[in-house]
């Protein structure tokens, strides 16, 4: 979570909007770092890494140390395509490998066009083509589980449709890998300057600037950035390499360039594909090293690093080396994976529940056929466990039932499920949570009743830039409670939605995230759009006549930014327009907040209450003798408090009805029975 002042957050997005409102930028590293350096924790870690880097670089610049470089460092890679479809997997796997082959050639100076250096090298005394003692490989074994069901052990570590970091550039699930994220962005690419493998940071590339060749349906390398060199450039930033020039237009000499001795200082970046010796450096008579990967020329005209740059890159890789996930580039060995197929946190109450049920999948790899048995630890005292089935020797599902909960103490229990094979003793574990605290997740919708709606959105500036004053509106949430999850729904009339940035700010005035940040293009309107972290990223259809309406999609950022904060207070929605001409208004918006609250318990005894069968297949009977003489209501909620069934019945002397839950998944549900003003809540289990 980033916590920084609201005005500063807006300033960051003014900068971002003005960048991406223009034609696609070559590199957005500096804009990205400007944003990240507002986070004090990020700054602290960045400065710590830079101190370690400077020490290591000084050691490498010692000639005797440099000559003892040791073995090649293997760097495991994971590639993520959040906006692609599973139907493209074979093509995307080939494209990812194509890009890795390009990186291996470029960083070892074995690329075919390095021969062009021979004709001009005499004009660059003291500069040689750089070779790094590193090797990139796409991981093939020991993949993270439970993130992408199609990411199979033994296959390349490539996710498709997985929303890496909730749309951000960092995802702790992928710590240990050099991550590449390929999606539609407002620049050709960006990367942290000096990236962290331990934190799960990524090099993010536009889907028109990754790999070479004809590409795939959703990722198409486009000239003049279609030879994979833009990825080479952005990865250079991850390895702490700066641009070789002082400015991207308006630059002057005297800025020291990238600070590396064998790359001549240059005032400005170079675009296109000029003659290799036609651009001057800041040293009289010395041409600029425009063919360097850290300049801005077309892919076809950049072909080398200097050895000084590769010394910097190797020094950075050295401080990352202990963070790389080991042995994942080796061929996968036969084994199995575990994944939870239902919510890994269940809410129970000893006074009303007797059991909790968790469901898992068991997936074998490379023909593994040993018998695997299951066990669990971390249970509340007095609880019992039953696995069904107790073992598996092929792909399948199994469940864990924790019973006798009426005899257990309140508390939150982290339960570890262990699967062990015989005779090899292959072992895997997965953790689930039992929230045995008599609570439930209750979701409440808060529609805006602000008198400023509909709210006119201030038009952007000519040529690009955020229009001011920025349109904003407030929604007050009167109820206190720690946020467990939330969704936001907006209704906006506006042509060309790529102009828009929607920023939601918590009542604390410092915590914020982006619901929409110049996503899509010439499509119109955001009509009844719900942003939900659990939804899939939106695949923009394109077209000036296309309307975006009646959808639930993943936000640009992550609403989990607000998890654990108090919901109460004034929430602010800022609506920024980044380009002149297209206008519109915010018609309505709402926030649904889910909080954990005390479980509704029996306020009275329903005479002869029977709920059967339980567990069931989604169809069950409710029977009792009403006493109030008023209407009877039956409601069913999932464990997160979302309504699945609601019906009101007239008063009867004996209530006996079949409740049918259509298309209910396996899991635990809350059944609420109200006889007039009296109410009781029961748990039901659907298998």
605: CB partners within 8 A, 6+ apart: none
Interior angle at CA 540, CA 155 and CA 571, nearest 5: 105
CA distances from 192 to 133, 170, 319 (A): 22, 10, 16
CA distances from 88 to 61, 84, 256, 377, 540 (A): 45, 7, 45, 41, 17
Determine contact, residues 591/488, Cβ cutoff 8 Å: yes
CA distances from 437 to 357, 406, 479 (A): 16, 12, 21
Identify which of 430, 428, 459, 404 has the alpha carbon closest to the alpha carbon of residue 585. Answer: 459
Give me the half-sphere count of Cα atoms (radius 13 Å) on the Cβ side of residue 261.
Answer: 5
Q: Which residues does the annotation mark as catalytic?
A: 234
For 144-183, give the DSSP string: -SSS-TT--TTS-SEEES--GGGGSSB-GGGTTSEEEEEE
Give me the half-sphere count of Cα atoms (radius 13 Å) on the Cβ side of residue 53.
Answer: 21
Q: 């620049």: which residue's tokens? A: 187
d(CA 682, CA 602): 9
CA distances from 288 to 284, 297, 519 (A): 10, 12, 37
At 365, give phi and psi (nearest 5°): -130, 140
d(CA 609, CA 563): 38
Indicate the pairing of strand 335-340 with strand 355-365.
Answer: antiparallel
Identify which of 54, 181, 158, 82 has the alpha carbon closest to the alpha carbon of residue 536. Answer: 82
CA 497 centroid distance within chain: 22
d(CA 95, CA 218): 11
């Amino acid at each position: 979570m980033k916590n920084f002042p609201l005005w500063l957050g807006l300033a960051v997005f003014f900068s971002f909007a003005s960048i991406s409102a223009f034609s696609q930028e070559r590199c957005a590293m500096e804009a990205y770092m400007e944003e990240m350096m507002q986070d004090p924790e990020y700054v602290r870690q960045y400065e710590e890494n830079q101190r370690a880097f400077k020490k290591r670089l000084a050691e490498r610049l010692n000639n005797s140390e440099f000559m003892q470089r040791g073995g090649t460092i293997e760097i495991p890679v994971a590639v993520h395509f959040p906006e692609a479809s599973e139907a493209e997997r074979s093509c995307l796997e080939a494209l990812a490998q194509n890009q890795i082959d390009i990186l291996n050639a470029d960083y070892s100076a074995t690329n075919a066009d390095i021969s062009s250096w021979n004709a001009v090298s005499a004009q660059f005394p003291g500069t040689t083509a750089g070779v790094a003692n590193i090797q990139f490989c796409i991981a093939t074994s020991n993949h993270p589980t439970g993130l992408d069901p199609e990411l199979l052990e033994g296959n390349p570590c490539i996710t498709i449709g997985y929303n890496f970091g909730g749309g951000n550039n960092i995802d702790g699930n992928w710590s240990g890998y050099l991550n590449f994220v390929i999606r539609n962005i407002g620049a050709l690419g960006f990367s942290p300057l000096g990236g962290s493998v331990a934190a799960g940071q990524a090099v993010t590339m536009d889907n028109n600037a990754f790999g070479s060749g004809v590409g795939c349906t959703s990722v198409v390398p486009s000239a003049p950035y279609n030879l994979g060199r833009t990825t080479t450039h952005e990865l250079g930033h991850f390895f702490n390499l700066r641009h070789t020039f002082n400015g991207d237009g308006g630059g002057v000499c005297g800025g020291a360039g990238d600070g590396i001795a064998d790359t001549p200082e240059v005032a400005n970046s170079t675009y296109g594909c000029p003659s290799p010796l036609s651009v001057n450096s800041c040293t009289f008579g010395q041409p600029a090293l425009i063919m360097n990967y850290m300049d801005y020329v077309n892919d076809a005209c950049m072909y080398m690093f200097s050895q000084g740059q590769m010394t910097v890159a190797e020094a950075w890789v050295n401080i990352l080396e202990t963070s790389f996930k080991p042995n994942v580039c080796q061929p996968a060995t036969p084994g199995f994976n575990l994944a939870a197929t239902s919510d890994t946190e269940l809410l129970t109450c000893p006074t009303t529940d007797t059991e909790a049920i968790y469901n898992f999948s068991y997936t074998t790899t490379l023909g593994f056929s040993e018998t695997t048995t299951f066990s669990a630890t971390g249970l509340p005292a007095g609880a019992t466990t039953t696995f069904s089935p107790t073992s598996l020797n092929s792909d399948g599902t199994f469940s864990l039932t924790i019973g006798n909960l009426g005899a257990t103490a309140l508390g939150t229990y982290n339960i570890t499920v262990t699967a062990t094979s015989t005779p090899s003793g292959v072992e895997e574990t997965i953790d689930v949570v039992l929230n045995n605290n008599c609570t439930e997740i209750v979701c409440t919708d808060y529609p805006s009743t602000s008198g400023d709606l509909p709210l006119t959105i201030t038009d952007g500036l000519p040529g690009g830039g955020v229009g001011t004053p920025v349109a904003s509106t407030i929604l007050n949430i009167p109820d206190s409670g720690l946020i467990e999850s939330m969704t936001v729904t907006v209704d906006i009339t506006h042509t060309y939605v790529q102009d828009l940035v929607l920023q939601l700010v918590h009542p604390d005035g410092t915590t914020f995230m982006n619901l929409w940040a110049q996503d899509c293009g010439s499509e119109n309107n955001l009509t009844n759009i719900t942003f939900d972290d659990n939804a899939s990223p939106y695949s923009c259809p394109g077209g000036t006549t296309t309307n975006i309406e009646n959808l639930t999609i993943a936000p640009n950022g992550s609403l989990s930014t607000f998890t654990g904060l108090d919901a109460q207070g004034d929430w602010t929605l800022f609506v920024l327009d980044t380009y002149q001409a297209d206008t519109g208004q915010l018609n309505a918006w709402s926030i649904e907040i889910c909080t954990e609250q005390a479980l509704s318990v029996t306020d009275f005894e329903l005479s002869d209450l029977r709920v059967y069968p339980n567990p069931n297949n989604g169809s069950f009977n409710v029977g009792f003798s009403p006493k109030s003489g008023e209407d009877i209501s039956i409601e069913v909620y999932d464990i997160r408090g979302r309504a699945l069934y609601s019906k009101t019945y007239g008063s009867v002397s004996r209530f006996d009805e079949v409740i049918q839950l259509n298309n209910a998944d396996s899991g635990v549900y809350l059944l609420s029975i109200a006889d007039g003003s009296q109410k009781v809540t029961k748990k039901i289990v659907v298998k």
